[in-house]
Amino acid sequence: MHRRDTSEVAERLHLPPEAAAWVRGLDGETPPEPRLPPYVEAPALLDRLAVDPRDVAEILAGWPSAEWPPDLFWLLGKVTAAVRADLGGAGWLVPGPSLPRDRGPAWRHFYVYAYLALLEDVRAYHARRGVPEEVSWTTLADLGRNLAIDRRMNGEGWPVMLQWLTLHVRGAIYELGRLQFHRRRTPESRSLSLHIPRSGPLTPPSCDASFARARAFFPRHFPDEPYEEITCGSWLLDPTLAEYLPADSNIIRFQRRFELQPGGEDGTEDFLRFVFGTLATPLDELTARTTLQRAGLAHLRAGGRWLNRTGRIALDGRP
Ligand SMILES: CC(C)(COP(=O)(O)OP(=O)(O)OC[C@H]1O[C@@H](n2cnc3c(N)ncnc32)[C@H](O)[C@@H]1OP(=O)(O)O)[C@@H](O)C(=O)NCCC(=O)NCCS
């Protein structure tokens, strides 16, 4: 197909205003076809990516086919090409418009198909960097974890996840044991940015082991970008938590590793996302089951808020 008029694409897809504006802003050139893995290999691949069987069923049901609106397939090519163009990049990237996901599995999992279409590229990138297979697949399997969170959050968290998942397929993030390390180097800082996935308790030995792996991993696989420190920006570092949680809890012991930077931003939304799995539920309808949830609610109901604070650790482990 030749050039498309992007206004017509937006109209034919009946996109909501924001998504329509995004599509109108694209150039009309035909992108390369997205290179999806063969459909027959998809179930095994999705299993390897830790995708829950319920999500696998939906992803297969919506799999790109002749039944897709041709414009949607065109858009998939555009999104895939845009992310691929930044392979090896590590900044935050909005890959494409926020689509109406309630139109069925093809729409719901549009960005999963983009992720799958980029696997070959990122796997080749990992191979060029000598990243071990186990690290490569463990890192990429964050897809399944995020889809599970999305399911739990009834889709509320998806816009953030869209951006998040572009890190994995650009080789920007690596899961090394308990923690994820994001190559977030800027001209001003030689920092790895730390992320804490939802994968069981944050025990001190699991963190020690993960930091030790990062110390060896980055000089070996990214010798051209030396790192000096690890920074973490998270609700987990709000010092107010120490007023509520026991001193020997994993969160408080995790906090003690970091030198806090001044300032901070409102992290109440992140707190609700990661501790209650919801953004839209009114406070008085939330049920607290754990110490942290009870504390979190009491704090919010008393008019308090939670902060995202940033802390740093030298990469060699010294504070
Ligand atoms: C980070 C994380 C693993 C810490 O969990 P942990 O190791 O159990 O932490 P602690 O031992 O300090 O927990 C202390 C108490 O808070 C509870 N708690 C901790 N994190 C919780 C969470 N996310 N949701 C609900 N309760 C939580 C624990 O259950 C425990 O309460 P209990 O004694 O009544 O069971 C957990 O919060 C988590 O999975 N978070 C999601 C990911 C995340 O927030 N990443 C950071 C993004 S910026």
Would you say the CB of residue 236 lies under 6 angstroms from ligand 1? yes
Q: Are 230 and 316 in contact (CB under 8 A)?
A: no
Phi, psi of 163 (to 5 degrees): -70, -45
Distance 262 CA to ligand 1 centre (A): 24
Q: Which residues contact 268 (CB under 8 A, 6 or more apart)?
A: 300, 305, 306
Residue nearest to atom 38 of ligand 1 (CA): 198
Q: Are 123 and 85 in contact (CB under 8 A)?
A: no
Q: Which pair of tokens denotes residue 66?
A: 């002749």
Classify 317 in phi/psi space as left (phi over 0), alpha (psi -120 to 50) or beta: left
What ranges in the chain are assigned the alpha helix state H? 6-12, 17-24, 42-48, 53-61, 70-84, 105-108, 110-117, 119-128, 133-140, 142-152, 158-168, 204-221, 250-255, 268-271, 291-301
Distance 187 CA to ligand 1 centre (A): 34
Would you say the CB of residue 114 lies under 6 angstroms from ligand 1? no
Q: Compute CA distances 227 → 82, 184, 193, 230, whole Å.
A: 27, 10, 10, 8
Cα radius of gyration rounded to whole Å, the chain: 21
Distance (Å, rounded) from C-alpha 218 to C-alpha 204? 21
Distance 314 CA to ligand 1 centre (A): 25
Would you say the CB of residue 265 lies under 6 angstroms from ligand 1? no
pLDDT of residue 72: 98
Q: Which fold has domain 177-319?
A: Aminopeptidase (3.40.630)
Residue nearest to atom 10 of ligand 1 (CA): 250
Q: Which pair of tokens denotes residue 25?
A: 């802003």
Residue 40: DSSP 8-state: G
Q: How large a percentage of the chain has pLDDT more than 70? A: 99
Q: Where in the chain is the domain with CATH 3.40.630.120?
A: 177-319
Distance 259 CA to ligand 1 centre (A): 21
Nearest to 28 by CA among 1, 53, 51, 6: 6
The residue whose CB lies within 8 Å of the most ligand 1 atoms, and thus the one to mutate among 149, 161, 167, 202, is 202
Would you say the CB of residue 293 lies under 6 angstroms from ligand 1? yes
**Ligand 1 atom closest to 203 (CA):** 7
Distance (Å, rounded) from C-alpha 313 to C-alpha 211? 10
Distance 201 CA to ligand 1 centre (A): 7
Would you say the CB of residue 250 lies under 6 angstroms from ligand 1? yes
Would you say the CB of residue 278 lies under 6 angstroms from ligand 1? no
Q: Are 304 and 266 in contact (CB under 8 A)?
A: no
pLDDT of residue 157: 81
Residue nearest to atom 16 of ligand 1 (CA): 292
Which residues of the chain carry a pLDDT beneath 70? 1, 317-319
Would you say the CB of residue 196 lies under 6 angstroms from ligand 1? yes
Would you say the CB of residue 104 lies under 6 angstroms from ligand 1? no
pLDDT of residue 188: 80
Would you say the CB of residue 198 lies under 6 angstroms from ligand 1? yes
Residue nearest to atom 19 of ligand 1 (CA): 292
pLDDT of residue 1: 56
Nearest to 247 by CA among 309, 204, 308: 204
pLDDT of residue 246: 97
**Ligand 1 atom closest to 308 (CA):** 48
Q: Which helix (H) or strand (E) holds 226?
A: none
